[in-house]
Structure 1
């Protein structure tokens, strides 16, 4: 069974702040092999990451909610999914899939076991192992090339271990506003 999870208030604020660019198009999808026994919920959080200078001239990294800053091209965005098992049974075989917002270029994923898709979510793997088909320089022949971060359309986490009842797990990915 697939669950559609509505974005958090923070994500909605980012969507409102960047409505014209469509920064947060899409929804998070999740599924488990035992949905009935283990109701798992997802919450998403979005932060804008900025590097700033302290009064002494040293740099610091600060995270802001989208309501607190004007989101502009080149901004680093940190997307976090909080996975919570509110059931009485372990959630086995849990998978969370997040479409890449169209106004954001994929940068990285926080977990080395996460996978990405470059074909609209039809297949997944490590970015370094994926290929995309494109036209050659003449525009007449189809060629295959190594996938690039800007080709990523989805991020997926397949949890190898059960999510224990009453626990929350966190996964994340980063992007750059186009």
Structure 2
């Protein structure tokens, strides 16, 4: 398990953007589990806690935080993130405020999941499913001003 989460901690968010020379964007990817507790009155509260160790079948929330540390607005920002090999993407879990979200089943072609196809080993072609997703892309709408930050996220289950 330690080896798996070493890989998860290093699951990189890759940035591809047309950012002016004076704009600098930093990325940080963190993995969390959602923990629900119930107080003495029966009220439930869900908190996100950093992943220390996950078990097969457990959901993990990946949060990719971006921050413009430069002097100019960062425009046309795109955040790409591969789903770790040990994980399976959870359908409809990708979120990003003011972002167009796309997925990939091969790591190269990105589109809405409904538009993607998978070629089986026998040559037949079928519609892609969430479990086929190997990478996600968030195309941020609008510029990220100097000093501003935001985040995108998705859930995946440990195989």
- Fold match (TM-score > 0.5): yes
Farther off after superposition, 53-62 or 41-50: 53-62
1:96 equivalent to 2:79? Answer yes
Structure 1 residues 144 and 52: CA distance shift in structure 2, 3 A = farther
Measured after TM superposition, the shift of residue 53 of structure 1 is: 4.5
Question: 1:157-178 CA distances to partner (integer Å, 9 max, x unpaired)?
Answer: 1112111111001111111111
Structure 1 residues 87 and 22: CA distance shift in structure 2, 3 A = closer
Corresponding position of 1:38? 23
Corresponding position of 1:18? 2
Corresponding position of 2:157? 176
| Cα contact 1:22–1:102 (8 A) shared by 2 | no
Alignment of 1:49-64 (within 5 A): 49-55=34-40, 59-64=44-49
Corresponding position of 1:29? 14
The 4+ residue runs of structure 1 with deviation greater than 4 A are 20-23, 52-59
| Cα contact 2:13–2:28 (8 A) shared by 1 | no
Gaps of 5+ in 1: 1-16, 136-140
Q: CA RMSD in A?
A: 2.1
Corresponding position of 1:157? 138
Measured after TM superposition, the shift of residue 21 of structure 1 is: 7.2
Alignment of 1:59-98 (within 5 A): 59-67=44-52, 70-98=53-81
Gaps of 5+ in 2: none
TM-score, normalising length from structure 2?
Answer: 0.85
Corresponding position of 1:6? none
Q: 1:19 aligns to what SS in structure 2?
A: helix
TM-score, normalising length from structure 1?
Answer: 0.76
Measured after TM superposition, the shift of residue 52 of structure 1 is: 4.4
